[in-house]
Structure 1
């Protein structure tokens, strides 16, 4: 009888221990979930704050750009060291900085087309020829077909131009996709165009952009880096060399040229046949690129944006995490 009672007490104790173990495991799981939820909520709150400070930094950049543009907006130069210079925004328990630089010194891929309707576009052949010329100057093989294929990627119809590519050219890819047939939303779309390899994209990236307009850019000769002189040389019908443009840019006055005539009529480009290139240059800027970096505790946020300075007051038209224009 006593052995039976001892056995029952042992079974009861084992049951109690098992229940304690189960309750302990449940409590540990609950605590782990609670800790995770608390951490997620904390991170979400910190990310919200980081986004808010990023927009505050963007607002600060708009004020800075107004100062760079000046009252008459007749000239934008690198004087004052504003380009790509970090402007800090003091924030509690963290840091926030904004950088701006000229975003118009590039070949606008969307200028490969002209608008023919509310949501329709047709190929602009002068733009295709200029893009192909730029690639030749950069030593990119197959530039003629890439330029044509890029124009077909954007234009609204389904008929390829000479050397171009429409739906059929993409049907063999895995996964299968088709041309966008509208303006590029981001320059990274160029990577999807047939013929554009990672190496070609890397070579072109410093020279191209995808602005939210089909209008060609005007290159600011007061802010263009000499090593990107191919942008201007590509505008001329093979009558100006890249080295000529670089030497001209290296002779730039500290305060910049007062007019494009000064740039074209003096120094290495004097007497050259500029063709349409002179009309495609300027001494002021209409688009600015924005970069913001925010760090709060363990949270970091890097965003890029685009500022439209064509209006009386510059305005932010895009701000996103990613590569940007």
Structure 2
């Protein structure tokens, strides 16, 4: 009888121990689930907050874009036929404080750089640019429409294959690459790069010349792809093209740009950067010293007439052909805004390319999200 009582007592103690452990496991499991739910809720709330902040920063950047349009309208309302570095748009990047953040932006002229898309087969040849009088080759004073200059160069649909030597931009780009004195890059390498870029832009499978590259060259790589056979979308696209090394791209970037779906090759002599004479040197096929002297002779407000530019004593040292004169204009119609906005801890960067069709209408033709 005593043995049975002892056995029952031990069983009850064992059951109570199991029940206690079970309760503790349930409490621990509930605590873990509650902690996970709390963490997920906090993460979701933070994500929603970040999205809201980022969206506000995005709208701040669009506000900078709208403000840029007003700045350009004001600049060209005062001076419709001339674009120069004394106008309000050319001021260095500005910062504007806003509620819980800041907006910054900088406007640059996309006709003070070499348009890489001007190597597209639809671009005008040297003879065509002279025949059509592009860029006031005769040096006459004209107030041409901003829209007309783009239409004339972009709508020339005659495709060409083979040599690109007749394209002014091809000659200029080759000279620019040489002028930058990049280590290991000479005339042969520069020609190869220009030919490879031409093949990347044209729609045929004919190799342009020495160093040219078409689909077969890119398809045989470790990670194969094909040539775009279309306009460039960004200067960064050069990384995909044969012969363009990181050193070359880094050196070229301050001097070149890309006009979306546009083969126009017109350079505004009024907005060329005086600290980057290598581009003018390539445009004129002159010495670096002559290019520096020509830019130094330019007034801060530029030239009201191309004839004044051609009459410069410093320019008499340079023998300019007609196609070289046809490269220059004194007004611009393409501008780029680099805008960034901060709202609380969120940042947003955007680049917008704008086209001035007339003094009252400005169209955003390209918008890139992120730093570029």
TM-score, normalization by structure 1: 0.91
- Partner of 1:37: helix, strand, or coil? helix
Task: Note the aligned Cα RMSD (angstroms).
Answer: 2.2
Partner of 2:334: 287
Shift of 1:214: 3.5
Counterparts of 2:73 and 2:294, CA distance in 1: 28
* Residue number among 280, 285, 301 corresponding to 1:255 in the alignment: 301
* Residue number among 242, 260, 267 corresponding to 2:288 in the alignment: 242
Counterparts of 1:195 and 1:85, CA distance in 2: 35
Partner of 2:205: 158
Counterparts of 1:321 and 1:167, CA distance in 2: 30
Query: Which has more radius of gyration?
Result: 2
Shift of 1:80: 4.8
**Residues 74-127 of structure 1: per-residue CA shift (max 9 Å, x gap):** 112211564252344453211112221112111111111233999995455323
- Partner of 1:25: helix, strand, or coil? helix
Counterparts of 2:96 and 2:254, CA distance in 1: 28
- Partner of 1:85: helix, strand, or coil? coil
Q: Could you tell me which runs of 5 or more consecutive residues in structure 1 were left unpaired when the two chains were aligned.
A: none
* Matching of residues 1-325 of structure 1 within 5 Å: 1-80=8-87, 82-83=89-90, 85-115=92-122, 121-123=159-161, 124-125=164-165, 126=167, 127-140=169-182, 141=185, 142-163=189-210, 164-236=212-284, 238=285, 240-270=286-316, 272-275=318-321, 276-312=323-359, 313-324=361-372
Counterparts of 1:61 and 1:119, CA distance in 2: 33
- Partner of 2:206: helix, strand, or coil? coil
Counterparts of 2:365 and 2:46, CA distance in 1: 33
Q: Could you tell me which runs of 5 or more consecutive residues in structure 2 were left unpaired when the two chains were aligned.
A: 1-7, 124-154
- Partner of 2:107: helix, strand, or coil? strand
- Partner of 1:8: helix, strand, or coil? helix
Query: Contact (CA 8 Å) 2:196, 2:213: kept in 1 or not?
Result: yes
Partner of 2:133: none
- Partner of 1:15: helix, strand, or coil? helix
**Residues 16-53 of structure 1: per-residue CA shift (max 9 Å, x gap):** 01000001001111111111111111111111111111
Larger mean CA deviation between 177-186 and 301-310 belongs to 301-310
Larger mean CA deviation between 311-320 and 157-166 belongs to 311-320
Counterparts of 1:259 and 1:37, CA distance in 2: 61
Query: Contact (CA 8 Å) 1:186, 1:210: kept in 2 or not?
Result: yes
Query: Contact (CA 8 Å) 1:120, 1:182: kept in 2 or not?
Result: no
Query: Contact (CA 8 Å) 1:122, 1:157: kept in 2 or not?
Result: no
Larger mean CA deviation between 66-75 and 297-306 belongs to 66-75
- Partner of 1:270: helix, strand, or coil? helix
Query: Contact (CA 8 Å) 2:71, 2:88: kept in 1 or not?
Result: no
Counterparts of 1:158 and 1:120, CA distance in 2: 17
